[in-house]
Amino acid sequence: MCGIVAYHGPSPALPSLLSGLSRLEYRGYDSVGLALSTAGGERLTIHRAAGRLAALLEVLPDDGTDCSIGIGHTRWATHGAPTESNAHPHLDCAGAVAVVHNGTIDNAVELRAQLAATGHTVVTDVDTEIVAHLIEDQLIRRAGRDLAQLAAAVAAAVGQLQGSWALAVTAVGVPGVVLARHRSPLLVAETSDALLASSDTLGFSGEIVAVREVRDGEIVTLGPDRELSWYDRHGRYIGLPAPLDVHVEHTGTDLQGAPDYTSKEINDQPAAARRLIDRLIGSVPDGTLPAALGVPVPAAVRLVACGSSAYAAQVTAHVLATACGVPARVVTASEHTTDLDDAGTLTVAFSQSGETADVLAARDTWRGPWLAITNNPHSSLARSCDAVLDLGCGPELGVAATKSFTAQVIAGSVFALSVGAARATVDPDQLQQWVDILIGLPDRLAASEALARPVAARLATELADRPGWIYVSRGAGVPYAYEGALKLKELAYRWVEALPAGELKHGPIALVQAGTPVVLIQAQPAARLAVNACELASRGAQIITVGGTNAVLPAVLPSIEPPWGPLEATVALQHLAREMASALGHDVDRPRNLAKSVTVE
- Residues with catalytic annotation? 2, 596
Q: Give the nearest distance from C-beta 598 to ligand M6R in angstroms.
A: 5
Q: Pick from 308, 406, 532, 599 the residue near ligand M6R by CB under 6 A.
A: 308
What's at 512, amino acid-wise?
A: V
Euclidean distance between CA atoms 483 and 489, whole angstroms: 10
Nearer to ligand M6R, 490 or 497 (CB): 490
Instruction: Please say whether the beta carbons of 133 and 99 come within 8 A.
Output: no
**β-strand pairing of 163-171 with 177-182:** antiparallel
400 binds ligand M6R (CB under 6 A): yes
How many residues lie near ligand M6R (CB under 6 A)?
Answer: 16
Residue 352 binds to ligand M6R (criterion: CB under 6 A): yes
Closest CA to 276 of 400, 430, 438: 438
Per CB under 6 A, the segment of 119-127, 135-143, 302-310, 579-587 that binds ligand M6R is: 302-310
Task: Give the residue, chosen from 64, 176, 307, 420, that forms a contact with ligand M6R under the rule CB under 6 A.
Answer: 307
Which residue sits closest to ligand M6R, CB atoms considered? Answer: 307
Cβ pair 496, 440 in contact under 8 A: no
Using the rule CB under 6 A, which residue among 306, 371, 456, 551 binds ligand M6R?
306
Q: Is 353 in the site for ligand M6R (CB under 6 A)?
A: yes
Helix (H, G, I), strand (E, B) or coil at 394: coil
Q: Is position 598 an interface residue for ligand M6R (rule: CB under 6 A)?
A: yes
Are residues 382 and 245 in contact, defined by beta-carbon separation less than 8 angstroms? no
> If binding is defined by CB under 6 A, does position 70 make contact with ligand M6R?
no
- 6, 166, 266, 359: residue in contact with ligand M6R (rule CB under 6 A): 359
Q: What is the C-alpha separation between 259 and 403, in angstroms, rounded?
A: 17
- The answer to whether residue 390 forms part of the interface with ligand M6R (CB under 6 A) is no
Rounded Cα–Cα distance for residues 497 and 468 (Å): 8
Binding to ligand M6R by residue 199, rule CB under 6 A? no
In three-state secondary structure terms, 150 is helix
Contacts to ligand M6R from residues 140-169, by CB under 6 A = none
Closest separation in Å from C-beta 356 to ligand M6R: 3
Distance in Å, CB of 187 to ligand M6R, minimum: 17
Contact flag: residue 347 with ligand M6R (CB under 6 A) = no
Footprint on residues 103-132 left by ligand M6R (CB under 6 A): none
Closer to ligand M6R by CB, 353 or 413: give it: 353
**Cα-flanking dihedrals φ and ψ of residue 329, to 5°?**
-135, 145
Please say which residue, 351 or 545, places its beta carbon nearer to ligand M6R: 351
In terms of CB distance, is 92 or 200 closer to ligand M6R?
Answer: 200
Instruction: Write down the least CB distance from residue 366 to ligand M6R, Å.
Output: 16
Interface residue with ligand M6R among 490, 497, 568, 579 (CB under 6 A) is 490
Quote the CA–CA distance of 149 and 507 in Å, as a whole number: 64
* C-alpha to C-alpha distance for 281 and 548, rounded to whole angstroms: 25
CA distance 124 to 102: 17
* Member of 351, 413, 418, 448 binding ligand M6R (CB under 6 A): 351
Specify the amino acid at residue 508: P
Give which of 23, 42, 41, 45 is closest to 33, Cα–Cα.
45
Is residue 486 close enough to count as binding ligand M6R by CB under 6 A?
yes
Nearest approach, Cβ of 282 to ligand M6R (angstroms)?
26
Strands (E), 223-353: 228-231, 237-238, 301-305, 328-332, 346-351
Is residue 555 part of the contact set for ligand M6R (CB under 6 A)?
Answer: no
Q: Which is nearer to ligand M6R, 7 or 469 (CB)?
A: 469
- Longest Cα–Cα distance of the chain, Å, equals 80
Report the distance separating Cα 312 and Cα 328, nearest Å. 13
Give phi and psi for 350, each to the nearest 5: -105, 120
**Main-chain dihedrals φ then ψ at residue 82, nearest 5 degrees:** -80, 65
Residues at the interface with ligand M6R (CB under 6 A)? 306-309, 351-353, 356, 359, 399-401, 486, 490, 597-598
